[in-house]
Amino acid sequence: MTHRVAGCILTPQGWVRGLVRFDQRISAIEGESVAAPREGDQLVLPGFIDLHVHGGGGADVMDGEGAIDTLAQTHARYGTTSLLATTMTAPRADLERALADVGRAMKQRARGAARVLGVHLEGPFISAGRLGAQPGFARPGNLDELAALHALAPIRVLTLAPEVEGHLDFIRRLTVAGVKVQLGHSSGSYEDGVAALEAGATGFTHLFNAMSELHHRKPGMVGAALAHAEYAEIIPDLLHVHPGAIRAARRAIPRLYAVTDSTAGAGMPDGEYHLGAHRVTKCLGGVRLADGTLAGSVLTMDQAFRNLAAVGIPLHEAARQVSTHPADYLGEHQRGRLQRGAEADLVVLAPDLRLLDTYIEGESIELAHAR
């Protein structure tokens, strides 16, 4: 079935006021180039891509047994068209159960679900001193364990602490294997961060959170990111990171991109949920452990886009931070952009940035507000 959507369309070359035609892929974009949307324009943007999502709709990646379908359907209703299923630090058997479910979901996208592009393994190869909301199962990198997990579902991104003994060589081996290594949950120094980048690491996990802070005489992992990173993820829920820090990161890091770090409470009412082995509480727009520690988020990507716009990031740049940059980071060049031949992953927004429509590989998705 061929669809037609009209509006101010963001293409790699800039804005086009006109029409996009598509079935599973985009067949044509027609119209006139314009400098920017005008007041009252409906916006047509690339679908949102979330490279760090733990859960949603009451389901957690670590549950296995179909949880991936539930969370992927939940986030699709908020404009996420593809994602990486993100694990928690856990015993090997628990990780194997979770990745078996990811592998199953990747073989056949469930109706109404975001496309699962693979796994973001957040831990277990992190610092025991910087767990944040991660359970206490941190351990040094192990290639045999990683190979067993990768056989169940492709590990596209792996977060680790570079200061752990043996991890620089681990980074080199992962890089050769094609895994994107991100630095996070780390107490490492600025120098540790730079050495990891030189060894092949390419990104930073939830910048500013669960990493050694910036000080003018001890720049820490944050300093390494701001001074050297091309890519880094950030959680723009306005709880994890102050708007001023988002603006600072934007000026320093060319391809900063947004993630939700969302948990099972995303798309659900306030109450108690689980995050891996932890019980967490959703209230006041966030999710926390019993001691008050932020434990992921309940952010959705449509709200992430609105928050970026609200802190002063131009619409075209905010759109790339929720779509194009994460696609490029993974090498998914047929996603995260509206151009002929690309996957028909797109979102339609009202002039006030409310989500109106979502299409995933040409499939029209029922939105959360329509339920």
- Residue 86 gets which letter from DSSP? E
Whether the predicted pLDDT of 368 surpasses 80? no
CB of 256 within 8 A of CB of 325?
A: yes
CB of 358 within 8 A of CB of 367?
A: yes
pLDDT of residue 278: 87
pLDDT of residue 277: 84
Quick one: how far is CA 55 from the chain centroid?
12
pLDDT of residue 369: 66
Cα 92–281–71 angle (5° rounding)? Answer: 55
Q: What's the mean pLDDT in 62-78?
A: 96
Residue 370: band (very low, low, confident or very high) from pLDDT cuts 50, 70, 90:
low
CB of 360 within 8 A of CB of 115?
A: yes
CB of 256 within 8 A of CB of 279?
A: no
Give the CA-trace dihedral at 68, 143, 163, 183, to 10 degrees: -30
Residue 103 CB: number of other CB atoms within 10 A?
A: 18
DSSP H or E run through 120:
strand 115-122
As beta bridge partners, residue 43 has 8, 349
Write out the CATH class of domain 46-336. Answer: alpha beta
Q: Which residues form the catalytic set?
A: 261
Residue 96: band (very low, low, confident or very high) from pLDDT cuts 50, 70, 90:
very high
Q: What is the pLDDT of residues 285-324, one digit of tens each?
A: 899 999 888 888 999 999 999 999 999 999 999 999 999 9
Which phi and psi (to 5°) does residue 204 adopt? -135, 135
Whether the predicted pLDDT of 65 surpasses 90? no
Is the model's pTM score more than 0.85? yes
Whether the predicted pLDDT of 149 surpasses 70? yes
Whether the predicted pLDDT of 1 surpasses 90? no
Whether the predicted pLDDT of 22 surpasses 50? yes
How far apart, in whole angstroms, are the C-alpha atoms of residue 246 and residue 243? 5
Residue 371: band (very low, low, confident or very high) from pLDDT cuts 50, 70, 90:
very low
> Whose CA is closest to 276, among 59, 65, 68?
59
- Residue 179 gets which letter from DSSP? P
Q: What's the mean pLDDT in 39-56?
A: 97
CB of 49 within 8 A of CB of 334?
A: no
The radius of gyration computed from the CA coordinates of the chain, to the nearest angstrom, equals 19
Residue 247 CB: number of other CB atoms within 10 A?
A: 13
Whether the predicted pLDDT of 343 surpasses 50? yes
pLDDT of residue 154: 98
Task: Give the start-to-end residue ranges of the domains of the chain.
Answer: 46-336
How far apart, in whole angstroms, are the C-alpha atoms of residue 207 and residue 216? 18
Of 36-40, 65-69, 136-140, 275-279, the one with minimum mean pLDDT is 275-279
